[in-house]
Amino acid sequence: MTIIDRPSTDVAVIGGAPTGVKPSEALGVFKRPAASTSWRDWVVTVDHKKLGIMYGVTAFFFFIVGGVEALLIRLQLISPDGKVLNADQYNQMFTMHATTMVFLFVMPMAAAFANYFVPLQIGARDVAFPRLNAFGFWCFLFGGLFLNSSWFLGGGADGGWFMYAPNSSTLFSPSHGIDFWTLGLQITGIASLTGAINLIVTVLNMRAPGMKMMRMPIFTWMVLVTQFLLLFAIPVITVALFLLTFQRSFDATFFDVASGADPLLWQHLFWIFGHPEVYIMILPSFGIISEVIPVFSKKPLFGYPIVAMSGAAIGFVGWGVWAHHMFASGLGPVSVTVFSMATMAIAVPTGVKIVNWVMTMWGGKLSFTVPMLFAIALVVQFTIGGLSGVTHAVAPSDTQQTDTYYIVAHFHYVLFGGAVFGLFSGFYYWWPKMFRRQLSEGLGKWNFWLMLIGMNLTFGPMHILGLQGQPRRMMVWTEARAGEGLFNFGFWNRVASIGSFVLGIGVLLFLVNVIYTHKSKKVAISPLDPWDARTLEWMTHNPPQEHNFDTIPTVGHLDEFFHRKYETDASTHSVKQVHSAEEVMAELNSHPDEHIHMPSRSYWPILLALSLPVIGYGLIYNRMLMAVGAALVLLTMFGWSMEPSTSPDEDFDPPAPGEGGGHTKELSPLG
């Protein structure tokens, strides 16, 4: 081990941190923030791993907020004539539950994994635009807080998560809830858009030598597809949100039916974003389990190119299916037929993936660790949800199911049973990489089984409820109209509500597990390669140092790390381990790179992101405040653009004695 990020010696003493770099004073408006280990470092950091953890913690916080909202909904429906919430609160609750889970939990949690692991998996030292990365995180945090501040300022949005117009106009929703909703989602949208640009450029441009596209781990592939979907989907919702904001705040007529407006405009704009959005939520989880299943089956992923390309195919076809959300709106037979067929077609690449995961496990040496259990549960539950999804593609059947609990059952099977289980698989799989300790398998199994049982108890009965005709977003049910026998509403609503609390306890056990793992003396430091993994992110320390790799590896294979550990005997088709993970790493690091200059910390991302909610509050309460916010945005942008992302070379490498001039002052454009 050598010290790579070479600070000038006096700085290490001043800063007190080993990787400190003395900030040049002449650059930008402020002095650059110096290295530090305190909370301040988290505020000014541009390190993709720290930002990944911050994304994760914040997203989990919103997961709990959204979960409490869900439990309140289920509490309302546990008994006839529920009195927990009134109608207005109930509307806010389901709207904010969905919004929080979609925009503030699943998407940013996927971004957390993408931020942390994509650079490691492709052998890069950071993302392409580190400050933009930090800016994205702060936009997500402040956007989420802004959105949720509506709870304390007159109530949350109440139009349902797809916020159909004209129901979302001020006539029907006079509180400020929807204004907070539109503006909050604009701010988090900026986070998604900058994140998408950043990760696409990172994956396309910053791969280690030899890391061809078809050698990238599947998780990276799926993140790439997801980011392209975000890149093109976010601007569409941006337009829709602007139109709604103009309608509500400036009396524009876009959704004013009296002026001849077409209510389908919002539906089209929303779902052109909204359907790619569902793939944005599920594909990262597909990527995670495509890493987990081969590792715990001790086999390479079956049909790697097919899995990568079917992900890309989902990305393409995902743009041609949006109107299946609108079959009941009277689109006409041609549109319905086309979208119906496209929707059936998109089941094909998804099915291909499921076959590939099953074939990967087939004949493998399976070990049923917690990450593997979550991954297998994803495959099963996503298949169930996928099959009920195909029934929506059949338009005549869909007109019966639409706006019933059957739909609620379907999308919770694919999103909770699929996306969320995939994220939990990722927590357990990558925890030792991120935090040096392996989460307890014992508690993890309780966590898994309670979540599995809770999830199926909650959402399974909703199929029955829906086919019996219980409408989505129904606020109360009465004993008199619940029916009798096996299919009565009352019984299955109770089952679903009890299931939701089992699910809640399951999720809480995850937090218990985290606390136990980090507080208990009994949990040992995890070995370097606890799972016998296959990909590059395991070829460095746990957790990786700021510069990720002491030496950037040269990649010769798919599953590079596996190929460095194992040798295949061609005659017997057997595989035997020839090196331990520690040996592989020691060999890699025998000639560490020198002059590694990491991007420097910056104040600007958080300052720019802080100015955005100011505009938001200004638009709602006081137009002067809006001008202040806009001025702040402009000023911080100027400050940002005058600060080079990397301190000059002499900050890292002071001129050697006798060398005199030192390094050239010209900054390399790229590095």
Partner 1 sequence: MAETAISHGHDVGHGAHSSTGLSNNKLGMWMFLGSECLLFGGLISTYMLYKGRVNAGPQPDQIFDIPFTSVSSFILLMSSLTMVLAVSSAQRKDERNMNLWLVVTALLGATFVGGQVYEFTSFYREGLGFTTSLFGSSFYTLTGFHGVHVSVGIIMLMALVGMNRNKRIPGDRAEVVELIGLYWHFVDIVWIIIFTLVYLIPS
Task: Enumerate binding residues for partner 1 (CB under 8 A).
Answer: 125-132, 193, 196-198, 200-201, 204-207, 211, 231-236, 238-240, 242-243, 246, 250-254, 256, 259-262, 265, 269, 272, 547, 552, 593-599, 634, 637-638, 640-646, 667-671
Q: Which is nearer to partner 1, 258 or 480 (CB)?
A: 258
CB 260, min distance to partner 1, A: 4
Q: Which is nearer to partner 1, 240 or 280 (CB)?
A: 240
Q: Which is nearer to partner 1, 421 or 549 (CB)?
A: 549
How far is Cα of residue 433 from the mean position of the Cα atoms in its chain? 18
H or E element in which residue 369 lies: none
Q: Which is nearer to partner 1, 468 or 645 (CB)?
A: 645
Q: Which is nearer to partner 1, 246 or 446 (CB)?
A: 246
Q: What is the dihedral of CA 393, 397, 400, 406, to 10 degrees?
A: -60
Length of the chain: 671
Q: Which is nearer to partner 1, 59 or 596 (CB)?
A: 596
CB 54, min distance to partner 1, A: 19
CB 223, min distance to partner 1, A: 14
Q: Which is nearer to partner 1, 257 or 341 (CB)?
A: 257
* Residue 405, helix vs strand vs coil: helix
Q: Locate 191 and state its tokens.
A: 């986070």
CB atoms within 10 A of CB 587: 12
Q: Locate 16 and state its tokens.
A: 């007190």
Q: Which is nearer to partner 1, 571 or 668 (CB)?
A: 668
CB 607, min distance to partner 1, A: 12
Measured over the CA atoms of residue 194, residue 200, residue 203 and residue 206, the dihedral's sign is: negative
CB 306, min distance to partner 1, A: 23
CB 166, min distance to partner 1, A: 13
Long-range CB contacts (< 8 A, 24+ apart) of 477-484? 477/77, 477/80, 478/80, 478/81, 479/80, 479/81, 482/80
Cα separation, 468 vs 489, in Å, equals 8
CB 235, min distance to partner 1, A: 4
Cα separation, 537 vs 429, in Å, equals 12
CB 41, min distance to partner 1, A: 17
Measured over the CA atoms of residue 546, residue 552, residue 555 and residue 560, the dihedral's sign is: negative
* Residue 533, helix vs strand vs coil: coil
Ramachandran assignment for 123, one of left (phi > 0), alpha (psi -120 to 50 degrees), beta (any other): left
Cα separation, 217 vs 106, in Å, equals 21
CB 130, min distance to partner 1, A: 6
CB 284, min distance to partner 1, A: 19
Q: Which is nearer to partner 1, 201 or 338 (CB)?
A: 201
CB 250, min distance to partner 1, A: 7
Cα separation, 211 vs 227, in Å, equals 19
Q: Which is nearer to partner 1, 72 or 637 (CB)?
A: 637
Cα separation, 100 vs 112, in Å, equals 16
Q: Locate 97 and state its tokens.
A: 């539950």
Which of 522, 375, 518 is closest to 452 using CA atoms? 375
Cα separation, 103 vs 59, in Å, equals 9
Cα separation, 552 vs 591, in Å, equals 10
* Cβ density class 357-393: b for 16+ within 10 Å, e for less: beebbeebeeeebbbbbbbbbbbbbbbbbbebbbebb
Q: Which is nearer to partner 1, 62 or 137 (CB)?
A: 137
- What Rg, from alpha-carbon coordinates, does the chain have? 26
CB 91, min distance to partner 1, A: 27
Cα separation, 620 vs 389, in Å, equals 39
> Do residues 342 and 395 lie in contact, with contact meaning Cβ atoms separated by under 8 Å?
no
Strand partners, 525: 437
Q: Which is nearer to partner 1, 49 or 412 (CB)?
A: 49
Q: Which is nearer to partner 1, 89 or 238 (CB)?
A: 238
CB 193, min distance to partner 1, A: 6
